[in-house]
Chains A and B, each alone.
Chain A
Amino acid sequence: MKAVWPHLPALQVVIPLIGALLAGFMRRGTTAFALALVVSWLMPVIAVCMLWQVLSSGTISYHLGGWEPPWGIEYRVDALNGFVLVLVSVVGAVIMPFARRSVAFEIAAPQRAWFYCMYLLCLTGLLGIAITGDAFNAFVFLEISSLSTYVLIALGPDRRALVAAFQYLIMGTIGATFYVIGVGLLYLLTGTLNMADMAVRLAEAWPGQSPAVIAALTFVTVGVSLKLALFPLHAWLPNAYAYAPSWATAFLAATATKVAIYLLIRFLFSVFGASIDVRALPLSDILMALSVAAMFIASTVAVFERNVKRMLAYSSVAQIGYITLGIALANQAGLTGGLVHIVNHALMKAALFLAVGAVFYRACPMNLTDLAGIGRRMPLTMTAFTIAGFGLVGTPGTSGFISKWYLAIGAIERGWWPLVIAIMASSLLALLYVGRVLEVAWLRKPSPAIADASDPPLSMLLPLLVLALATIYFGIDTEWTAGMASTVAKALLGGVR
């Protein structure tokens, strides 16, 4: 144990990477699943150990290959990315048991092992983005996660998945290119790729708003915004989520956009924050306007959407709007709200997509009208859906309420009352689209098409229920989520000029 302890940051990334390689050599889906399960369950152990270490003794700096930081690659774990690592790995671990049956149902036998291989690669990439302290290394991991994501989406049972994956490939590539252009500019300006070092040098050499720094900031912001599906750069997301395999959608919705959001926060607050006042630029105004637009427009689209998975995908765009709103507010309460919504939204959206996956596993319908009366046939599944749905609305007693509460407080602290009303009003839109499903699922007569559907087996039901209960639990006990988010927000704002 003693020998492993200092190498935890490397193991966090290396274990899934090796797992992916091994899975690539496997033929049978079941063995690949077993491997993916073991890896997924190891990840949170490592992540929690690191977070504990960070909280008790401060930032971890790991020098890959023993090279000193400004030259070599540094893995740097502080409260912010420790938090993100725990989130990503825990979500992966919790929903992994669901995958076996769902994947076996939706994906042809020869491709199942590849599915797990791609999942492990994607996990490698996401954890890598979160853990690395090197801007270019983050780009490499961004590409690893993106490329594997395109494959995951293309494996979807619907042929439209291919088009969706292709569009995402184009958009993801543009995003990554913008990001790498931004990083290139920063490298020209500072001569370093290490984020912490970059921040120091930017503050020393380029104080104030130099055009080059601003160009770099713009490219990075827009590139990452594409990856996190900020409105109006979200157009790739609804189809990608709607046609990907059910389990992959749940995993990606809960983790991929969240890691991109992490990257945005890292650049805005830790890298640029030290040299330029992010709040003085129109950046925060633009981000705010786009967030509010996302909250309303994407929610309204969701209200009219007939395909349940696409509806949830649009709801994701709207919910990401809440998170970026918290970033744009850039004060203690607002940022806490945004950060805590990263966790809360990840948990409830995973629950919702898993519930939809479970319904698909049992009954195959995806249009809203086919779901008539499904609540009577699959009561536990739909109960979980209902709880998580109320979370989206922000009903008190669910975790969604906590996020919106902090956001509202943050808006009030900045004196923007209309924003408070916007938060409440967009919650009503969420009530409409969630309520539409609930009305169909619970109040209508069961249609004959779903006559012999029933709750899925325990391996699928358990992850679903755990996530739904977490939605309630984190709505009541906010010590771990909001408490942690508040610590992180304080640290982030402390580093800003």
Chain B
Amino acid sequence: MTASALPPALVLIAAGILLPMLSGRLRPTLLLLAPLLTLYLIWQVPDGVAARHAYLGYELVLVKGDALSRLFATVFAIMAFAGGLFALNQRRVIELAAAFCYAGAAIGVTFAGDWLTVFIFWELMAIASTLIIWSVGPSAYGAGLRYAAIHLLGGVLLMAGIVGEIASTGSTAFDKLTLDSVPRGLILAAFLLNAGAWPLSAWLPDAYPESSWSGMVFLSAFTTKTAVFVLLRTFPGTELLIYVGLFMVFYGIIYAILENDMRRILAYSIVNQVGFMVVGIGIGTEMALNGAAAHAFTHIIYKALLLMSAGSVLYMTERRKCTDLGGLFRTMPFTAICGIVGALSISSFPLTSGFVSKSMISEAAGKEHLAVVWYLLAAASAGVFLHAGIKFPWFVFFQKDSGLRPAEPPWNMRMAMAFFAVLCIGIGVAPQALYALLPFGVDYIPYTASHVVFYLQLLLFSGLAFFLMLNLLKRTLTITLDVDWLYRRAGVSLAKSFDRLAGRGWSGIATWTTGGASAVGRAARYYHGPEGILARSLPTGAMAFWAAIMLVIYLALFYL
């Protein structure tokens, strides 16, 4: 095994396991060097199979390289590096260790060449990410438990799907599938669960904001984007995904607008942004797939930047509700500017990374003459600007003065933010470098006059709408600080009623299932509980009686 065949994933995982054993200067050194070494190894992976291992009579293809896997692995490694830099002052080493195992497992999935390898790394991701949430302490136990339960369910779905797939086709190769059998449906369901698709999306905004100020930066990057990667690899061009993706886009926007917690806003916007990528995968043309891959790349960077900015605010103020924050620009201008760069990118403002990637998906929809999809995506772009592009920076850094005067975060956190802010703008200004990494050849030029004008118009008008509504309510805002009220007035009653409807349906299903489940539980306890007939200590005579019964049953059945 040469150095070039060393699976990059294992370097990060090994670093993660080593971290808790190191102390002093060694820990930050490892934290920064391991991702760089991984990145180097990622670029040493040749096209095609590079590492195999025999397991259970199957050939595990641990490393199989192509352009798509290198693209995702690269951004994952960059993310691990910047996240490590950002989290240098995180005292809970278990979180960092778990985060590195998590990142390593995500990279493992991107290079996996067969289903078993995918599954192994998939489960490792679930375990490591749960640990990140749990490392916070008692406040996160409940959310972590729910998160773990959902992902174990996903693991079971995936396992069942994979076993069925291997049994029915006899091939373990992790490759493109058409959605035409039950096992494949199970696989798709497991992937969509991790992508945060409705109806199993609630784990994401439920669990992520409970993680620490640095934990969520890691969490935002890997699980959902690995799901995007596997969807890109296995189900490109599956029409169903267009609808699933559109639903995610609007679901994310509506809930983010209704939300007050800054990190929950960003959590919902993950669902929304992944929705764009899922639409791109569903469209399935080369340009759409390029767009989805590119958008995943840029999204990881700007979403991490936004969460670093929010994490810095949380780290310095220990508050997370929009209503408790505001006016932080005065003392945290650097954090605010970085947050704004992230916000502009997520809104796909020209000259930022989001523009060069998201516009590819819309353009692909246009080229396929999917007019409805195109319009919905355009409307959604405006909605993104509303909830993430303006709402987050405005309420946290501007608006009213909350009286808080926190200092800027420590140097390493500023460095990490600066690094990602530069990447956001760099990719936006010179997209050719990113385009060169994409799986298919790119002949797309983002900066045409019509594109730029269209997006600027869209953004300007939605920005205008935001501030018009704000002006309308300015006087009351200074007193009530009630954000929900602002939006209720602005016609989001539609969203509310949708929410109510969904809520009613959901609670109906929930009552029904809990009713059934508790009946089963009661029955199980009745028979299996400590006093139940199946669990209490039997008298010796009863045991002997059972032995006689068994003998009779055997004899009777044999002689029949």
A residues near B, CB below 8 A?
166-167, 170-171, 174-175, 178, 209, 211, 214-215, 217-219, 221-222, 225-226, 232-233, 235-236, 238-239, 281-283, 286, 297, 300-301, 303-306, 314, 395-397, 402, 405-406, 408-409, 412, 420-421, 424, 428, 431, 439, 443, 445, 476, 478, 482
Contacts and interface: CB of A to CB of B under 8 A. Distances in A.
B546 A218 contact: no
21 contacts: A166-B540, A170-B543, A170-B544, A171-B540, A211-B559, A214-B555, A218-B551, A225-B550, A233-B543, A233-B550, A239-B537, A297-B528, A301-B535, A305-B530, A396-B119, A405-B56, A412-B167, A420-B163, A421-B160, A428-B156, A445-B138
Interface in B530-554: 530, 532, 534-535, 537-538, 540, 542-544, 546-547, 550-551, 553-554
B540 A218 contact: no
A420 to B, nearest CB: 7
A295 to B, nearest CB: 13
Given A170-B540, A282-B557, A408-B163, 8 more contacts: A174-B547, A222-B551, A225-B550, A304-B530, A304-B532, A396-B123, A421-B160, A424-B156
Interface of B: 55-56, 119-120, 123-124, 134, 138, 141, 145, 152, 156, 159-160, 163, 167, 524-525, 527-530, 532, 534-535, 537-538, 540, 542-544, 546-547, 550-551, 553-555, 557-560
Contacts of A443: 134, 138, 141
B558 A281 contact: yes
A431 B558 contact: no
Contact of A174 (B123, B544, B555): B544
Nearest to B124: A397
A65 B286 CA distance: 80
A303 B550 contact: no
A311 to B, nearest CB: 10
Given A171-B547, A175-B547, A431-B152, A306 B119 contact: no
Contacts of A166: 540
Contacts of B55: 476, 478
Closest 4 CB pairs of A and B: A300-B528, A282-B557, A301-B535, A218-B554
B551 A214 contact: no
B557 A167 contact: no
A283 B120 CA distance: 37
Contact of B557 (A222, A286, A301, A478): A286
B163 A222 contact: no
**DSSP majority for the A interface?**
helix
Contacts of A445: 138
A304 B547 contact: no
Nearest to A242: B537
B557 A304 contact: no
Contacts of B537: 235, 238-239
B542 A235 contact: yes
B167 A232 contact: no
- Tell which of A209, A219, A304 has the most Cβ of chain B within 10 Å: A304
A226 B555 contact: no
Contacts of A476: 55
Contacts of A214: 555, 558-559
A487 B152 CA distance: 34
A65 B251 CA distance: 82
B60 to A, nearest CB: 10
Nearest to A236: B543
A167 B542 CA distance: 11
A405 to B, nearest CB: 6
A301 B124 CA distance: 29
Contact of A233 (B163, B167, B546, B560): B546
Nearest to B58: A405
- Tell which of B56, B138, B159, B558 has the most Cβ of chain A within 10 Å: B558
Contacts of B159: 424
A297 B537 CA distance: 15
Contacts of B542: 235
B134 A304 contact: no
Contacts of A482: 56
A303 to B, nearest CB: 7
A411 B540 CA distance: 36
A209 B527 CA distance: 39
A314 B558 CA distance: 30
A235 B534 CA distance: 9
Contacts of A174: 544, 547
A235 B554 contact: no
Given A171-B543, A178-B547, A478 B56 contact: yes
Contact of A306 (B530, B551, B560): B530
B525 A304 contact: yes
B156 to A, nearest CB: 6
Contact of A235 (B124, B152, B543): B543
A222 B159 CA distance: 36
Contacts of B528: 297, 300-301, 303-304
